[in-house]
Amino acid sequence: MSFKTLKFTLNGEPMEIPVSPSDMLVDVLRDKLELTGTKKGCGKGECGACTVIMNGKAVASCLVPALKAMGANVETVEGVANGKAHPLQETFMDLGAVQCGFCTPGMVMSSKALLDENPKPTKAEIREAIAGNICRCTGYVKIEEAVEAAVQKLQEKR
């Protein structure tokens, strides 16, 4: 099997790692780089557990061939906290939007991608942003409330 060197930026740091052309980004992140916050759920892009931000957009990393990340800027849940918890992480914890925790990294990343692009989303925009993420525990209400609360916290910081 031939390996190629994947060069990209991961959580703000330049990265080079040998990958197989058949490797998916989720597997490189979890298995080769040991960033296990990105969860591998369905492997079909339907559950959102593997969501990362690539070049500013939320993507299902289980559907992204690793070599498609060549030159890309990739952010995982491990990169969200910059020395301290991001307001999204705080509000998810404070408002009980975290239960079993399996969907949480993907929910945080989908929500962060939304807030990075739109700092004042409507409830409908929040729902649309997390629509690709399945949660079996919370019923989504607390997650939506946590994103709304994070919007408020972020506005107060500006």
Confidence band, pLDDT 50/70/90 cuts, at residue 158? confident
pTM of the predicted model as reported, rounded to 2 decimal places: 0.95
Domain count, the chain: 2
Judgement on whether residues 9 and 74 belong to the same structural domain of the protein: yes
Domain interval for residue 135? 87-157
Judgement on whether residues 99 and 122 belong to the same structural domain of the protein: yes
Percent of the chain with pLDDT over 90: 92
Amino acid at 83: G
Bridge partner list, 53: 58, 75
Q: Between helices 104-117 and 87-94, what is the axis angle to 10°?
A: 130
CA gap 90, 97 in Å, rounded = 10
